[in-house]
Amino acid sequence: MELPPLSLEQLSKLAASNTPSSQLFEILSQYETDASIMSAGSGSAETGAGDPQLLSLFYSSFFFAHLLTKQLPEARALTKRMPEALRHQDPSLQNCLTLLQALWQTQHAQVYQILRGLPWPESLQPLVRRYENFFQDDTLIAISTTYEAIRPETAANYLGLDPQAAEQGDSAIIEKFTSCGWTWDPAARLLRPSPIVVQPTDQTSSNGIRETMAMLGNRGR
């Protein structure tokens, strides 16, 4: 598949599109070659080679594509592949590093703060929002199986909602949880999560074990 050349427009278009995350990752992964060719060329001493704006947007987008496909260790590796000078200078890439650290340490509240509070470039915003939702959903699924009972403020903290309001029993917040099947115990002031199960995409034969054992069994004869 031949891709249009790497450009700001192309990146913005990709970020704004609803391309599935795995495809987005694959496309950006192919662009990495172009990006590294650009940055390897000659350029200014301060920002290194290539168009800093384009490279910043590319690496930020690619970073988010890693997060959207849950590749945290590889995302970390990516931050080390970014052009050195650019990584130290560019605010957007700096934000990515801060975000990576918060994710690495599973500091949920901080992750939301970084995603919402830090200045991200306009063209990247769709990906930031997309990841915020993704992270929120993912966390919601995780706490639904991790906790059997949870205080609203703890849950709110995990999901980046207002803990104070949640503690007051803010109906809008409670509603968010009850809408996914959780029950609210007003007397105990506790939410009782109901596990959210995501069906794995690959449905496989249930005869697997039998077939495999047959294969093993035949081997020695």
Partner 1 sequence: MEVVEGLMTQSAQLREARNLSDQSYDRQIRENVSSLRRVLSTKALGAFASNDSLLDHFDPVADSLVYLFLLRAQTQAFQEEFRENVPAALLPPGNLWSRIVSYLRTFDPVQVRYAGQEWRQLVELVAQASQVPILAVRLVRDAMLRLDPSCAVFTSTHLLLARLCLRARAYTHALPVLDRHVCHFPTSTPRATSGFSVLPCAAHDSSLSFITDTSGLSSKLTYKDYLQYFLCGGMIYMALKQWCKAAHFLEVVISMPTVGPISMIMVEAYKKWILVTLLEKGKLSSPSNLIAPHVVKLYQSLAKPYVNLAHSFSRGDLAHLEAEIDAAREIWCTDNNMGLVSQVLGAYTKHTVMGIKQTFAALTVKELSEQASPMRMNDEATESVIASFIMSGALKATLVQNSTRGSPTMLRFSEIHSAPRLSDESKAQSRLVRESQSLGSLMNGLDEIGYHMGLSNEFIDAVQRGQTWAGVGDVNSGMSEDVGLEIEEDLMGEVS
Partner 2 sequence: MDTLPDAFPSSTQVKFAAPFPSGAAGASSQGLPGVIENPEPIARIKVHDPPKFDLESYIANYVGRTRFNRLYLIGTSSTVLSTEALKLAVAEAKSGKDVSQYEKAVRALSEVAPTEEDASLDTAWVHNVQRQVQAQSERLEQELRGYKNNLIKESIRMGNEDIGNHYYETGDLLAASKAYTRMRDYCTTPNHIASMLFKLLNVSIERGDWLAVQSNVHRLRNAQSKPEDQLKNQPKMAAALGLAQMHSGSYLDAANTFLSTDVSLADTFNEIITPNDVAVYGGLCAMASMDRGDLQRRVLENSAFRNFLELEPHIRRAIAFFCNSKFRPCLDILEAYRTDYLLDIHLQRHISEIYTLIRTKAIKQYLVPFSRVTLTSMATIFAPQVIGGEAQPTGVSSPFVQELIQMVKKGVLDARIDLEKGVLVSNQTDLRTEVQNKTLESLRSFNEEAHLRILRASVLHAGLEVRAPESERRSRGNPGPNLRGMGMAERFTRGGLRS
Positions in the binding site for partner 2 (CB under 8 A): 209, 212-213, 216
Q: Does 77 bind partner 1 (CB under 8 A)?
A: yes
Q: H/E element holding 48?
A: strand 48-49
From 54-62, 95-103, 115-123, 190-198, give the range in contact with partner 1 by CB under 8 A.
190-198
Q: Identify which of 51, 102, 35, 109 has the alpha carbon closest to the alpha carbon of residue 75.
A: 102
Instruction: Provide the 10 A C-beta neighbour count for residue 198.
Output: 8
Q: Alpha-carbon distance 132 to 126, whole Å?
A: 10
Amino acid at the residue 124: L
Tokens of 117: 């509070």
Spell out a b/e string for 93-117, using b for 16 or more CB atoms within 10 Å of the CB, else e: bebbeebbebbeeeebebbbebbee
> Residue 77 or 213: which CB sits closer to partner 2?
213
Tell me if 44 contacts partner 1 by CB under 8 A.
no
Q: Does residue 145 touch partner 1 according to CB under 8 A?
A: yes
Q: Which stretch binds partner 1 (CB under 8 A): 8-16, 57-65, 68-76, 86-94?
A: 68-76
Among 4, 9, 179, 215, the residue binding partner 1 under the rule CB under 8 A is 215
> Residue 160, Cα to own-chain centre: how many angstroms?
15
Q: Which residue in the set 17, 106, 133, 168 belongs to the binding site for partner 1 (CB under 8 A)?
A: 106
Binding residues for partner 1 (CB under 8 A): 29-30, 32-33, 36-37, 39-40, 71, 73-74, 77, 80-81, 106, 139, 142-143, 145-151, 153-154, 188-190, 195, 197-200, 202, 204-221
